[in-house]
Copies of this chain bind each other. A is one copy, B any other.
Amino acid sequence: MGVNLKDIAQRAGVSLATVSNVVNGYRPVGERTRQRVQQAIDELGYSPNLGARHLRRGRTGLIALAVPELTNPYFAELAEIAISEAAALGYTLVMENTAAQREAELALLDGSRQRVIDGLILSPVRVGRKEVLARTAGSPLVLIGEGVYDVPHDHIAIDNVAASHAAIRHLVAIGRRRIAFIGATPGGDRQSAHLRVRGYREALAAAGLPYRPRLVARTDAFGRLDGMRAMRDLLALGDPPDAVFGYNDLIAIGALRALAEAGHRVPEDVAVVGIDDIEEGRFTAPTLTTIAPDKREIGRLAVRRLVARIEGAEVEGPLTVQTPFRLLRRESTGTPDA
């Protein structure tokens, strides 16, 4: 069904290898021959069979981006960026959905998929340092987000502790004293939540506010529903919070919903802050104050690093890169930016 190198070679009256050299620029080819070959390529409409090329080269041209949930807009937005960056570098990005399941993450780290992709970008949730170190697959791995540190792989993330600080400082600055956190996790396996809780505690301490364990709500997952339920529980406390910091925007949006249902005003009664800056947060009522990571930077950097490793390039700088973030003030804390 396809035009192949042989067809071009016949048409142009040269050898197979010469056509290959014209296509890949691997060896110098005389100007006249090059033109004749190029003309044949244009006339017959040749495009290389990637399967064969990759068999020969030992690479597939595929990289995978594995996220815990496709339907979390943060990851969808990140994926959109990563896909276009990968395309620009000549790679095809395959989305993998781990559904936040340990087995799925392990299978990606070491499973048979490894034979078909050249490299993996993983947002780990259920695996930790140990599992990453135990990995035997040889293809490059880039970690994004949090959860795993001190491993010999590139790692792109924001400084979660600092991000928490910024959120809490803002809430303190607008006069809040009873600040809750939603999205702590039971196990020690999701370190990002721990980091965000740590930043929360440190910032409270810095502001001279007491740490009240009852104001830290645990959730099983990190969706809107989890945020809503946790917020309901917090409101049922004898002395409910006057501000809430959510593990992410989805949790914060769930909290907004619970507050609306219970008839509390935001931000007058309770202020709300999230993390991720998903587009949805610009349209909620009220709009959501959030910590905005530089998604473009994260997506592009992750893909570029991975491709550089795949192609054996020397990568300068440290393995771990912390990307910038900023606080976006919106209605849910009462002091919108301009």
Contact = CB atoms under 8 A, between A and B. Distances in A.
Contacts of A224: 279-280, 282-283
Nearest to A64: B92
Contacts of A280: 224, 253, 280
B92 A92 contact: no
A50 interface: yes
Copy number in the complex reads 2
A212 interface: no
A50 B116 contact: yes
A236 interface: no
Contact of A283 (B2, B50, B76, B254): B254
A76 B84 contact: no
Interface stretch (A52-60, A185-193, A200-208): A52-60
A257 B279 contact: no
A152 interface: no
Contact of A50 (B58, B84, B97, B115): B115
Contacts of A69: 80
5 contacts: A47-B115, A71-B76, A71-B77, A94-B95, A284-B285
Interface of A: 1-2, 47-52, 54-55, 58, 60, 69-71, 73, 76-77, 79-80, 83-84, 92-97, 112, 115-116, 138, 223-224, 228, 253-254, 256-257, 260, 279-280, 282-285
